[in-house]
């Protein structure tokens, strides 16, 4: 990136996970240009146009859910999450939704209600939507003393089962929405065993399982979608961000009977599935597939995690390094024997990195993490340069 003064920056944010396919990929730009000369807008509620249908068909083929599937297109991840909730409620006839501590699902009223991290996202914006119940996310690094990852997973699942007795009856729960890889919460992968047990629980009680893949989708974790690592099949998958390489587009994809549950006209969007965004998405998905960005994400992740582990040993202020593929984070603490979240150091690291020409952002329930979301088209040379800058920034702050 180049600013108005001619300073150049490496981007380790990807627009918060939007440009997995890189900034302005040529095939996407050309597709947008061609579509702009043909059709700018019609609205899918008014008439059907080919780019919308083609994107839906692509998503249906891409997302590994068995049986008949359908896709609905929206503008943003928040809009898609809301639509998924509406579909689940219409399908089950139930009101309640279960979400997780550390979750981020958007900033509209319903999605803000689902979102955790009160002070940053919810302060002064209440009252919030009702019938939302929150349970602990299996966050192994912040588990009880002496717990390993599997023990943490078992405890958190027991907390969920207890919530279905103490807080809401399963017969009242329309959906459980989970990020298989928490984003804003601190880049925390849900244990695969937890996700498999969650799938079994939802099937047992007729609860719709919604996977929020807005930030983790489209090759970011080394799979098209993060839930694939566990082998489960959600009922609905919400996607956005990198789906269209930077143009506003989101989707709900899943079991056809759930998408068909709302009455005709019950869900809709003026701009959702805009022809330009659809044209961009078709080429972005084709590019990600042909460039094998899943494999590239794994390569990037191996390189970065190797460096991160070295830094963890070198800098006592780094408490944990984690992630999947090229979705990685550093969690900062107060000292080698003090896991108290350090909220000062990450901000200083971001500032020091920016001074040195590297764009970064924070994450975490406590805002004590630095997340990395490099474009998956980054070269090894650029990656190494950026990691050197990040290391120098950490060293400058650590002293």
Which pLDDT score is estimated for 162? 98
Which pLDDT score is estimated for 293? 98
Span 78-130, pLDDT tens digits? 999 999 999 999 999 999 999 999 999 999 999 999 999 999 999 999 999 99
Which pLDDT score is estimated for 145? 82
Query: Considering the domain 26-290, what is its CATH architecture?
Result: 3-Layer(aba) Sandwich (3.40)
Which pLDDT score is estimated for 146? 80
Beta bridge partners of 133: 98
pLDDT in tens, the chain (399 residues): 999 999 999 999 999 999 999 999 999 999 999 999 999 999 999 999 999 999 999 999 999 999 999 999 999 999 999 999 999 999 999 999 999 999 999 999 999 999 999 999 999 999 999 999 999 999 999 998 889 999 999 999 999 999 999 999 999 999 999 999 999 999 999 999 999 999 999 999 999 999 999 999 999 999 999 999 999 999 999 999 999 999 999 999 999 999 999 999 999 999 999 999 999 999 999 999 999 999 999 999 999 999 999 999 999 999 999 999 999 999 999 999 899 999 999 999 999 999 999 999 999 999 999 999 999 999 999 999 999 999 999 999 998
Which pLDDT score is estimated for 153? 97
Report residue 122 as tokens. Answer: 């919810």
Cα 79–85–88 angle (5° rounding)? 140
Which pLDDT score is estimated for 43? 96
Domain range 10-21+292-398, its CATH number among 3.10.290.10, 3.90.650.10, 3.90.1150.10, 3.40.50.1820: 3.90.1150.10
The DSSP secondary structure of 49-88, one letter per residue, reads -HHHHHHHHHHHHHS---S-EEEEEESSHHHHHHHHHHHH
Q: How far is CA 203 from CA 11, 209, 236, in A?
A: 41, 8, 13
3 state SS of 128? coil
Beta bridge partners of 239: 251
3 state SS of 183? coil
The structural domains of the chain, with segments of one domain joined by +, span 10-21+292-398, 26-290
Span 11-66, pLDDT tens digits? 999 999 999 999 999 999 999 999 999 999 999 999 999 999 999 999 999 999 99
Residues 23, 61: Cα–Cα separation, whole Å:
26
How deeply is 305 buried, as exposed, middle or buried, from its count of CB atoms within 10 A (0-12, 13-18, 19+)?
middle
Residues 19, 324: Cα–Cα separation, whole Å:
17
Which pLDDT score is estimated for 211? 98
3 state SS of 295? helix
């Amino acid at each position: 990136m180049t600013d108005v003064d001619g300073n150049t920056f490496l981007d380790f944010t990807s627009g918060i996970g939007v440009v997995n396919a890189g900034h302005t990929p040529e095939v996407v730009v050309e597709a947008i240009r061609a579509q702009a000369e043909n059709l700018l807008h019609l609205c899918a509620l008014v008439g059907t146009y080919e780019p919308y249908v083609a994107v839906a068909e692509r998503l249906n083929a891409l997302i590994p859910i068995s049986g008949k599937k359908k896709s609905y297109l929206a503008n943003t991840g928040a809009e898609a999450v809301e639509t998924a909730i509406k579909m689940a409620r219409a399908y089950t006839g139930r009101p309640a939704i279960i979400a997780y501590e550390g979750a981020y699902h958007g900033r509209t009223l319903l999605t803000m209600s689902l979102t955790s991290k009160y002070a940053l996202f919810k302060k002064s914006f209440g009252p919030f939507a009702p019938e939302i119940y929150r349970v602990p996310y299996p966050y192994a690094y912040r588990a009880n003393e002496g717990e390993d990852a599997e023990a943490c997973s078992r405890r958190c699942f027991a907390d969920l089962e207890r919530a279905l007795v103490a807080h809401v009856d399963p017969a009242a729960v329309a959906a459980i929405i989970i990020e298989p890889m928490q984003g804003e919460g601190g880049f925390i992968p849900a244990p695969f065993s937890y996700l498999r047990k969650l799938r079994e629980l939802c099937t047992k009680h007729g609860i719709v399982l919604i996977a929020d893949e807005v930030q983790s989708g489209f090759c970011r974790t080394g799979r098209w979608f993060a839930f694939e690592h566990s082998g489960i099949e959600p009922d609905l998958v919400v996607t956005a961000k990198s789906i269209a390489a930077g143009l506003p587009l989101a989707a709900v994809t899943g079991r056809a009977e759930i998408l068909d549950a709302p009455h005709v006209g019950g869900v809709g969007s003026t701009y959702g599935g805009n022809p330009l965004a659809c044209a961009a998405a078709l080429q972005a998905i084709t590019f990600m597939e042909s460039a094998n960005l899943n494999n590239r994400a794994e390569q990037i992740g191996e390189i970065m995690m190797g460096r991160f582990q070295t830094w963890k040993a070198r800098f006592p202020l780094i408490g944990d390094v984690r992630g999947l593929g090229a979705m990685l984070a550093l969690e900062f603490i107060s000292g080698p024997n003090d896991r108290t979240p350090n909220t000062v150091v990450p901000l200083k690291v971001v500032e020091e990195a920016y001074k040195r020409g590297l764009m970064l952002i924070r994450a975490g329930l406590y805002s004590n993490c630095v997340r990395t979301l490099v474009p998956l088209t980054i070269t090894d040379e650029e990656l190494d340069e950026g990691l050197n800058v990040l290391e120098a920034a950490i060293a400058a702050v650590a002293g």
